[in-house]
Amino acid sequence: MLDIAGLHVRFGEAHILQGVDLAVGTAPLALVGRNGMGKTTLCQAVMGMVPVAEGDIRLAGRSIARLSSDRIARAGIALVPQGRRTFPSLTVHEHLRLVAPRKPGAWTIERVYETFPRLAERRGNGGTQLSGGEQQMLAIARALLMDPRLVVMDEPSEGLAPVIVDHLIQVLKGLAADGMGLLLVEQNLRVATEVADTVAIMVTGRIAARMASADLLADVDLQRRYLGVSTGHPEPGHR
């Protein structure tokens, strides 16, 4: 569905993405890595939000690497950005009406309210009157109303309470079961591995490894090396 080949992105002298190769099929793919490794820049590059210096990005065989963001969105990719980015002056319903197509597809506002009942309850509330979990539901709902082939989600579980994270996992699994493509960028290893059977690990602007989620969960040394995951026990001689 999405094929990224030899992708380079530079900001001045900073070489952020250094030859990224990544393929996303019909099954969800989770992208994990420490902070500052280039994961968000990759999301932005896919959506045409930063210029691509070298390489190519293809959606269903069609190059989109140098298209504008609106053309990429119309081609079938939707972004759920890190930080949700809701409009404080718009109500929940106004957010949804803003992106809902004139000719509804598989996703309609009514279906959004069925999927996220809490949004239906808060439909008249403004963006800043929502909890973090409600804002995340709204950000996902906006993306779904575009009827995308592929959704790119950047840290969707960030800052959410555990019970909301559990609901998020079920929603993402449901989207995957419906056949929607999903590139999930996550710091939360549980979310990444429960939603996607395959994970890719990004290190300093490159894809360092790609493996089964079960293999990453079973290898604590690998988690420490690539993700900085700790068992929570201090090493001898350290406090």
What is the mean pLDDT, run by run of 10 residues, along the chain of 239 residues? 96 94 96 94 96 94 94 94 85 92 81 92 89 90 93 91 90 91 94 96 96 95 83 37
Report which DSSP code applies to 127. Answer: G
| pLDDT (0 to 100) of residue 180 | 92
Q: Give me the half-sphere count of Cα atoms (radius 13 Å) on the Cβ side of residue 119.
A: 26
Distance (Å, whole) CA 96 – CA 138: 8
* 127 in Cβ contact with 87 (< 8 Å): yes
Total-model pTM: 0.88
| pLDDT (0 to 100) of residue 206 | 96
Distance (Å, whole) CA 96 – CA 126: 12
Within 8 A by CB and 6+ apart from 183, the residues are 2, 24, 28, 29, 31, 43, 46, 150, 151, 152, 153
| pLDDT (0 to 100) of residue 229 | 64
| pLDDT (0 to 100) of residue 114 | 92
| pLDDT (0 to 100) of residue 208 | 95
Strand order in the sheet with 62-63: 14-24, 2-11, 54-59, 62-63
Q: What is the token pair recorded at 156?
A: 């969707």
| pLDDT (0 to 100) of residue 192 | 95
| pLDDT (0 to 100) of residue 234 | 38
| pLDDT (0 to 100) of residue 235 | 38
Domains along the chain? 2-80+147-227 (3.40.50.300)
Can you tell me which residue has the tokens 């008249």? 124
* 33 in Cβ contact with 222 (< 8 Å): no
* 184 in Cβ contact with 29 (< 8 Å): yes
Distance (Å, whole) CA 150 – CA 143: 10
| pLDDT (0 to 100) of residue 236 | 38
* End-to-end Cα spacing for the chain: 47
Strand order in the sheet with 206-212: 77-80, 150-154, 181-185, 29-32, 198-203, 206-212
| pLDDT (0 to 100) of residue 237 | 38
Residues in the chain: 239
> Residue ranges of the alpha helices (H) in the chain?
39-46, 69-75, 92-99, 109-115, 117-121, 132-144, 162-177, 189-195, 213-218, 220-227
